[in-house]
Structure 1
Amino acid sequence: MKRTFKAVVIALVAYLVADRAMLHAQGRDIAASSCAQSAAQVEFDALGKGFSQAAASSQRDAFRSQCLVSGRTQSGEAVAMR
């Protein structure tokens, strides 16, 4: 069981590294500054929809984290959810 778990973890890490490498090779990965700009837009949209400052900043942080981890953002994704 322990051996299987290790194999699954290694396979997952290999997949994530390969995915990130493909994004970089294709020139579709985004810079941290792009994530920050999109995250600021999410916060602005959230404030416009009536969220409190704390809730809007939480959405901003969540979006930025997702963007930095995945290396991609999709149009239409950078909006506050309600």
Structure 2
Amino acid sequence: MSLVLIGTCITSAASYGFTYLASLAEVSERTPDERARATAGLFVYAYFGFSLPVIACGVLADRFGLLVAMEVFAVV
């Protein structure tokens, strides 16, 4: 069981890293004159995109239970 968890953690970290790297390269290529501004915007959107669903699931789990939160997350 612990090997599965370790493998999942490594895979998840790698995919987030590759996602950030690819999006950063794309933003940098499309806006060479406004690279700093575009990079800052990218990270703002990325942090909101990664954190808001987790926060929403936590609120749902507190109010309605874990199963309901997982079902809503899967549907959305």
Tell me, yes or no, whether TM beats 0.5.
Answer: no
Q: Quick check: which one's helix share is greater? A: 2
Structure showing greater relative contact order (alpha-carbon pairs closer than 8 Å, 6 or more residues apart)? 1
- The bucket for the TM-score relative to the shorter chain is 0.3 to 0.5
